[in-house]
Amino acid sequence: EVQLVQSGAEVKKPGESLKISCKGSGYSFTNYWIGWVRQMPGKGLEWMGIIYPSDSDTIYSPSFQGQFTISADKSISTAYLQWRSLKASDTAMYYCAKHGISRAPFDAFDIWGQGTMVTVSS
């Protein structure tokens, strides 16, 4: 079964750092672009960026540029989303999702992780 399993919910203070994870299984992790989507409480979906685990080629949304880092460790089939200094406005559910077609950067997300809720509050 193809699945993406994300790390658990986090509660952090403003200014703290955080790295959340997304582990893929049941498919060739290195050959499919994997991305991150933000959903703020009660709001819609926002595309943050994607990474190709084979060579770590990464594309960020200009709306989010510089606010976080997307990375991947292909040796353990895991993608990451990392912040150096969280803000209250980073409070949201974060989903990872993979593309449906091997090697294709232009594609829809066919499999989604269960989501990681990040709460940033003093």
Partner 1 sequence: DIVMTQSPDSLAVSLGERATINCKSSQSVLYSSNNKNYLAWYQQKPGQPPKLLIYWASPRESGVPDRFSGSGSGTDFTLTISSLQAEDVAVYYCQQYYTTPYTFGQGTKLEIK
What's the CA gap between 36 and 49, in Å, rounded?
6
> Strand 78-83 vs strand 92-99: parallel, antiparallel, or unpaired?
unpaired
What's the CA gap between 53 and 103, in Å, rounded?
10
Choosing from 29, 113, 118, 120, the residue that interacts with partner 1 (CB under 8 A) is 113
Min CB(67)–partner 1 separation in Å: 13
Stretch of residues binding partner 1 (CB under 8 A), selected from 13-21, 42-50, 70-78, 84-92: 42-50
25 contacts partner 1 (rule: CB under 8 A): no
What's the CA gap between 59 and 85, in Å, rounded?
21
73 contacts partner 1 (rule: CB under 8 A): no
Residue 58 near residue 88 (C-beta atoms within 8 A)? no
Q: Which is nearer to partner 1, 66 or 75 (CB)?
A: 66
Token representation of residue 12: 């952090």
11 contacts partner 1 (rule: CB under 8 A): no
Residues in contact with partner 1 by the rule CB under 8 A: 35, 37, 44-47, 49-50, 59, 61-63, 95, 97, 100, 106-110, 112-115
